[in-house]
């Protein structure tokens, strides 16, 4: 007989569940009988996911149409949950996009929105929902960073920096709240086969695609790590290898290698 999941009948909030990794996480949690609140900009995609999950897994799914790259937008989600008596026990901060380095110094509005989405909103959502998790001595937070937080990518600049923020913040938060029964895990995916590159208008190194892992694989590994209380999770060989490089070499050397291989020779790597 299948054992009951720790997430069964609880509520999870997932940002950016309309595609890619967030959608796969939503499906994984629904399979464990977890109810969902999903929040992002595209209502039609959220509605399609809601209908599918409610029909197939008999869970309840609420949708909030919101642009989380606007400061204080997270308060709207918190107020929605409060007024509908929804107690969030699992928080998945997944929404994200990148800005290609070539656009870094010209698309300032987009740059600012990218920073807000992946620093201010992530932090606000954790802060808002953590009090009730601590009170109940039960809570799970999965913050989606990137392996570029450890070893910077050829095609991005500030994106790697904001993902580093998410990693540092998650590790510190983990240390702060684990004694209160709240588990914080940071997901560091490597290249994953989603619409991310297209949505972010990101040039990709030609040979990278052969190392792509599927978003379903990333979601399964992430949920499993979250449940067992891991601090970080790096799904797949590519992410594990880059994490290993980042751990064994001093950061000064990592940035020198980044400058030599990625920045100075960028045009030969990117399509």
Ligand X SMILES: NC(=O)c1ccc[n+]([C@@H]2O[C@H](COP(=O)([O-])OP(=O)(O)OC[C@H]3O[C@@H](n4cnc5c(N)ncnc54)[C@H](OP(=O)(O)O)[C@@H]3O)[C@@H](O)[C@H]2O)c1
- Under the rule (CB under 6 A), what is the footprint of ligand X? 15-22, 40-42, 45, 67-69, 94-97, 117, 144, 146, 189, 191-192, 194-196, 199, 215
Which of 156, 161, 184 has its CA nearest to residue 171?
A: 184
Cα dist. 154→65, 131, 193, 235 in Å?
33, 39, 18, 20
Closest distance of CB 218 from ligand X, Å: 8
Instruction: Answer yes or no: are the C-beta atoms of 197 and 155 closer than 8 Å.
Output: no
> Residue 9 and residue 148: Cα distance in Å, rounded?
35
Phi, psi of 64 (to 5 degrees): -125, 120
Q: Which is nearer to ligand X, 18 or 101 (CB)?
A: 18
What order of strands is seen across the sheet that includes strand 88-93? 61-65, 35-40, 11-15, 88-93, 139-144, 182-187, 232-233
Whether the Cβ atoms of residue 145 and residue 246 lie closer than 8 Å to each other = no
Residue number, 6 or 230, with CB nearest to ligand X? 230
Q: In this complex, which beta carbon is closest to ligand X, that of residue 88 or of residue 117?
A: 117
Total residues found in the chain within this entry: 271
Q: Judged by CB, which is closer to ligand X: 5, or 214?
A: 214
Separation CA 259–CA 101 (nearest Å): 13
User: Measured from the CB atom, is 18 or 89 closer to ligand X?
Assistant: 18
CB of 188 to ligand X, least distance (A): 7
Return the number of the residue (11 or 196) whose C-beta is nearest ligand X.
196
- Closest CB 137 distance from ligand X, rounded Å: 29
Alpha-carbon distance of 196 to 144, in angstroms, equals 13
Structure tokens at 45: 């995609």
């Amino acid at each position: 007989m299948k054992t009951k999941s720790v997430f069964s009948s609880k509520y999870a909030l997932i940002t950016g569940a309309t595609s890619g990794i967030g959608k796969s996480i939503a499906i994984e949690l629904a399979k464990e009988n977890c109810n969902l609140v999903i929040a992002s900009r595209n209502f039609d995609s959220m509605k399609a996911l809601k209908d599918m999950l409610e029909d197939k897994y008999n869970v309840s799914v609420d949708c909030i149409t919101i642009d989380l790259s606007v400061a204080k937008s997270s308060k709207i989600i918190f107020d929605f949950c409060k007024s509908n008596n929804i107690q969030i026990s699992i928080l998945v901060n997944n929404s994200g996009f990148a800005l290609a380095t070539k656009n870094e110094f010209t698309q300032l509005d987009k740059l600012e929105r990218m920073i807000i989405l992946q620093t201010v909103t992530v932090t606000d959502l954790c802060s808002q929902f953590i009090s009730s998790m601590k009170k109940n001595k039960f809570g799970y937070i999965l913050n989606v960073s990137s392996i570029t937080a450890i070893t910077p990518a050829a095609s991005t600049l500030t994106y790697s920096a904001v993902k580093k923020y998410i990693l540092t913040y998650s590790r510190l938060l983990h240390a702060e709240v684990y004694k209160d029964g709240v588990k914080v895990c940071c997901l560091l995916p490597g290249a994953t086969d989603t619409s991310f590159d297209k949505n972010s208008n990101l040039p990709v190194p030609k040979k990278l695609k052969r190392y792509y892992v599927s978003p379903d694989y990333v979601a399964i590994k992430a949920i499993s790590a979250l449940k067992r209380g891991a601090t970080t999770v790096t799904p797949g060989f590519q992410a594990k290898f880059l994490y290993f490089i980042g751990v064994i070499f001093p950061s000064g050397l990592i940035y020198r290698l980044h400058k030599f291989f990625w920045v100075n020779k960028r045009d030969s790597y990117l399509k």
